Amino acid sequence: MNIVLASQSPRRKELLEKCNVSFTCDPADIDETMDLSNNLNDEIQNLAYRKAAEALKRHPDDLIIGSDTIVVLNNQVLGKPKDQADAFQMLKHLQGNTHEVITGLCFLSKKRKYTAVSISKVAFSTMNDEEINEYISTGECMDKAGAYGIQGFGGRYITKIEGDYYTIMGLPLNMVYEELKNYNLY
């Protein structure tokens, strides 16, 4: 059985490589709209499932891994910023506050479906406008939910995390490893 990661995220690819399994990437091109009036944990798991299900159509005999991550502050979902002004506003709201990062995960094959969610809390230090603009100028924040990357320059603004660090990066590594063992891949 081959493993297919239904993602184009370089971070998810890098993390899955840490599980020491061979895999290919085949991003799922789906509508990623979520119904924010529903339970966010259910919605992010459903989004991970929809990504995996789309990739399974192209790889029916393989094991598909789908994942997605959202940042939530005061019950408001912060997606990827549309532009630098949007990134500035997101970072302005995050600074000095604690938010949740929720990653949905789905393992899907024609014989089995497994979905899970992992939640971590992240505390941001207080940032002034100059620091926010300096961080935005790195370009790092533009393709990340919540407009920051904990594994890059954004890490210098994190004062505390509760939960799984890899959830914040976009793929809860231990959850993935434990589920892969169920497929006798080790």
Mind telling me the catalytic residues?
Answer: 68
Q: Give me the numbers of helices (H) and strands (E) for the chain, helices first please.
A: 6, 7
Alpha-carbon distance of 145 to 81, in angstroms, equals: 7
CB atoms within 10 A of CB 176: 23
pLDDT higher than threshold 80 for residue 65: yes
Asked if residue 186 has pLDDT above 70, the reply is: no
| Residues shown for the chain | 186
Q: Which domains does the chain have, with CATH numbers?
A: 3-181 (3.90.950.10)
Position 115 scores a pLDDT of 97
Distance CA 114, CA 57 (A): 17
Contact between 92 and 34 under an 8 Å Cβ cutoff? The reply is no
Give me the chain's average pLDDT, please: 95
Reported as type and span, the H/E element at residue 69 is strand 63-73
49 vs 56: CA distance, rounded Å: 10
Helix (H, G, I), strand (E, B) or coil at 65: strand
**Band of the pLDDT at 59, cuts 50, 70, 90?**
very high
User: Do residues 54 and 6 lie in contact, with contact meaning Cβ atoms separated by under 8 Å?
Assistant: yes
Q: Is the pLDDT of residue 23 over 90?
A: yes
135-174 pLDDT, tens digit per residue, is: 999 999 998 999 999 999 999 999 999 999 999 999 999 9
